[in-house]
Amino acid sequence: MTKDCQSPASAAAIADLAELFGDRLLSFASALDHYGATEFWIASALPDAVVRPASTEEVAQAMAICHRHGAPVIPFGAGSSMEGQVIASAGGITFDLSLMDRILSVNPEDMDCVVQAGLTRQRLNEELRSTGLFFPVDLGAHATLGGMASTRASGTMTVRHGSMRELVMGLTVVLPDGQVIRTGGRARKSAAGYDLTHLFVGAEGTLGIITEITLRLAGIPAATRTVLASFPLLDQATACVAAALQMGLGLQRIELADDLQMRAINAHRQADLPEVPTLWIELAGSKPAVAHDLDILTDLIRDGGASRIELAQSPDDATRLWRVRHDALYAARALRPGIKGLSTDVCVPISRLAECISAIKAEIARTDLLAPLVGHVGDGNFHLVLLFDPNDPDETATGRRISQRLVEMALSMDGTSTGEHGVGLGKKSYMAAEHGPALDLMRRLKQAVDPRGIMNPGKIFDMQG
């Protein structure tokens, strides 16, 4: 039994796609649930069918069919979107790129590689290990590189290596009419024409489907050291972050958790860490440089008022400490079992970080809402996990109000409504306030590239203001 209420455009596209893809076209409702579900509060919406291409050429063929019939197209990687980017809010055809998971080339001398969009970052790093290189965007999610490029993902190592914005060198993209283009390339810089690569990076599938990606790689550092530092006050922790960044240390990761998040971690992992604001800090570089920087860092942390400093004594010990940080979301949700809540993020200049965090925590303190805080504070990005029951109107209203206030605060401090989760459906109501007249230029670009409006419709912004 297929999904009910298909549009004529979808039905016509599905008929043509079935001839081309056979059993790689899924149209049974029971098989579509995975593709229309969301991780958090946004309502699910199932596509009319799912196609599973295995090459750029097949993506182009399928796209041309959907374009001819005017059927909406939703690119899909691993489905870990936080803001509803991959749900089929207008119906249509989901393009699942998970079969496109090959490493096409690795160039150790040039420190780059070319991969298909369905490859996960975990698998890429497993394959790269013998080369002495790695891909440094370190997310909590098991995400595909195409999805990461489409949402301009970042993660814990952004403070040293940058986000997908800095690490994507070139793309192969299938445009809405099925045309295949290549942008950028393997040269480390270029002054040739418009920067089309970064038009598609962060476009969330609204302009085309990324099928191949050229990525900048990094060398695996000779040495790393991890420090866990506990502070009585949140302001002391954030001040330590700013000071460490300004001293030019070899910082690779700086992560923050507030007191509530630490309480959640202890409960989730049966740990006994201090339930106070806590920093995870990782130094990386040559052994002499890391040893030198570690002395400076520990003095800085101690002078900054830390109540406890734990230094990982081995790689396994460091892995244990970072696993605690990576499990933070699961620990937060365990504070209210069965409640997904809303994970939201903003990013502000480092100089406004303490102010923004303090202000939103003061707002939360006036409610009964549980909202643990974690952040990639080395770049001013932090997350709140708002634990409200979506079936409770009062709790939902409180959660949404806090989320809105957080965005308003970030924008007032020269920040952004989302540092890494992207816009999708969840944050698009803030785009006008953040971008002003530039939002109309985005609409004109969308209209020029996708005149039929089939690419991931309704995401980031509506075509009518």
pLDDT value at position 245?
Answer: 92
Beta strands 93-96; 73-76: pairing state: parallel
Q: Which of 29-38, 50-59, 297-306 has the lowest mean pLDDT?
A: 29-38
Distance of CA 263 to the CA centre of its chain: 25
Distance CA 116, CA 106 (A): 12
Burial 353-374 (b: 16+ CB within 10 A, else e): bbebbebbbeebeeeebbbbbb
Question: Are the C-beta atoms of 402 and 360 separated by less than 8 Å?
Answer: yes
Separation between Cα atoms, residue 332 and residue 328, nearest integer Å:
6
For 223-328, CATH number out of 2.40.50.180, 3.50.30.10, 3.30.70.2190, 3.40.50.720 equals 3.30.70.2190
CA angle 209, 211, 215 (to 5 degrees): 120
**Model pLDDT, residue 1:** 41
- Six-digit token string for 12: 């016509």
As to burial, measured by CB atoms within 10 angstroms (0-12 exposed, 13-18 middle, 19+ buried), residue 264 is: buried
For residue range 321-342, what is the model confidence (pLDDT) as tens digits?
Answer: 999 998 898 999 999 998 877 8
- At which residue do the structure tokens 């520990």 appear? 298
Please name the residues in contact with 382: beta carbons below 8 A apart, sequence gap of 6 or more: 256, 345, 346, 347, 353, 356, 357, 373, 374, 375, 376, 419
Q: Which CATH number fits domain 331-423: 3.30.2350.10, 3.40.50.880, 3.30.70.2740, 3.40.605.10?
A: 3.30.70.2740
Q: Rounded mean pLDDT of 196-201?
A: 98
Each residue's pLDDT tens digit, 416-458: 999 999 999 999 999 999 999 999 999 999 999 999 999 999 9
Task: Kindly list the strands in the beta sheet with 381-386, ordered across the sheet, starting from the edge strand earlier in the chain.
Answer: 308-311, 223-230, 278-285, 251-257, 373-376, 381-386, 342-347
Cβ atoms 253, 306 nearer than 8 A: no
Tell me the per-residue pLDDT of 15-49, one tens digit each, with 9 for 90 and over: 999 999 999 999 988 889 889 876 666 778 999 99
Q: Where in the chain is the domain with CATH 3.30.70.2190?
A: 223-328
The burial of 140, by beta-carbon neighbours within 10 Å (0-12 exposed, 13-18 middle, 19 or more buried), is given as: middle
Contact 202, 152 (CB under 8 A): yes
Q: 308-318 pLDDT, tens per residue?
A: 999 999 999 99
Does the domain at residues 8-98 carry the CATH identifier 3.30.43.10?
yes
Return the number of other C-beta atoms located less than 10 Å from residue 444's C-beta.
Answer: 9
Which pLDDT band, with edges at 50, 70 and 90, does 275 fall under?
Answer: very high
- Name the segment(s) of the chain with CATH classification 3.30.70.2740: 331-423
Whole-angstrom CA distances from 357 to 124, 160, 187, 254, 361 are 35, 23, 40, 16, 6
Residue 232 pLDDT exceeds 90: yes
Please tell us whether the domain made up of 103-219 is placed in CATH 2.60.40.10.
no
pTM of the model: 0.94
Percent of the chain beyond pLDDT 70?
98
Residues of the chain with CATH 3.30.43.10: 8-98
Q: Please answer whether residues 308 and 229 qualify as being in contact, where contact means their C-beta atoms are separated by less than 8 angstroms.
A: yes
Q: What is the pLDDT of residue 6?
A: 83
Q: How far apart are CA 295 and CA 286, in angstroms?
A: 14
